[in-house]
Amino acid sequence: MLPLSMTEVEIEPKVRSSLQERGELEALRFKWIESEKAGHDLGETAVRLWICRFWNRFLRQHWMEHLHGETLWIEFDARTYGVLRRPGLLESPLTQEIVERFRWGEENLHVIQWAMDAGRPMEEVRAILTALDVNSSRIPCQFDPARPRYRNAAG
């Protein structure tokens, strides 16, 4: 894909990482902790539980890192990497308000409703939402809890 502007080209990622790999590690840590609490290996059940409970929050947190240019997560659109470091966008108080709403888990519809109720300039709101592109951050979990490495000894 071609960059949207020359400013994008200037932002070099400090770190490139995979959400799937990092998520799998987090799920395995969760499995270990929960298995220790239970006194036995919970196997793929614990991994599935992590996916249900934490995958979406995990994505949102790492999407924010991607937008701020802290880590280039390879599953997210490279054109949105560091978008909040580009001139003009983050200086806008409206952008800061919208980013904070996304940080707390709100979606486009919530932001639009809030902006309308608060009398914010809708053209600017739409431009910010387009630049941030929250919909592209919806990535399915692709590691498989049924793989043998997640199963307990009982199978």
Condensed to tens digits (0 to 9), the pLDDT of residues 94-150 reads 999 999 999 999 999 999 999 999 999 999 999 999 999 999 899 999 988 776 665
Closest C-alpha to 117, from 105, 101, 132, 103 = 101
46 token code pair: 């614990």
**pLDDT computed for residue 4 by the predictor:** 43
**pLDDT computed for residue 3 by the predictor:** 39
Q: What kind and span of H or E run contains 102?
A: helix 93-103
- 155 vs 41, which has greater pLDDT? 41
| CB 101, CB 118: distance < 8 Å | no
Gap between the Cα atoms of 14 and 62, Å rounded: 14
